[in-house]
Amino acid sequence: MTMHTGGCHCGNIRLGFSTGLDPSQIEVRACQCSFCVKHGSRAVADPDGRLIISVKDETRLHRYRFGLRTADYLLCRECGVYVAAITADDNARAIVIVNALDDQGRFSQRPIPVDFDAEGKAQRQARRRARWMPVEVSFE
Ligand SMILES: [Zn+2]
């Protein structure tokens, strides 16, 4: 496993994405939902990997929810960077935003546009359980 570090711009949120895959092998997804399009988001996840999110000041962590409200989109209130999304159910799974990683350039696959607007809630939760990765959020 290699850990790819990253975080928001001001340092309030730090990321550690652990994966056994080479970054060049990991599928990069460009979600076409209205939120991700506005951010130009490119996301990755390794279901066999892990994401660790460390937050210094929880009051400066924003959890944005919209649509089916089945995930939290994590943004830093201080610097505005969108870093990751986490499912809102018990067994949390996450994706990490490539641009928030320090070695973003190594995730070299051409982003695949993905559109999940037609999904129902159960379908969406099942897809995330299968394709997103385990996550741990800690507060310093
Ligand atoms: Zn920040």
Question: pLDDT of 12-49, one tens digit each?
Answer: 999 999 999 999 999 999 999 999 999 999 999 999 99
User: How many whole angstroms from 39 Cα to the centroid of ligand 1?
Assistant: 15
User: How many whole angstroms from 122 Cα to the centroid of ligand 1?
Assistant: 33
Cβ partners under 8 Å of residue 15, min gap 6: 4, 5, 6, 7, 51, 52, 53, 54, 83, 84, 96, 100, 101
| Model pTM score | 0.95
User: How many whole angstroms from 121 Cα to the centroid of ligand 1?
Assistant: 31
- Average pLDDT of the chain to the nearest whole number: 96
Walk me through the domains of the chain, giving residue ranges and CATH numbers: 2-139 (2.170.150.70)
Which residues surround the ion ligand 1 when the cut-off is CB under 5 Å?
8, 10, 12, 76, 78-79
**Structure confidence at residue 77 as a pLDDT band (50, 70, 90):** very high
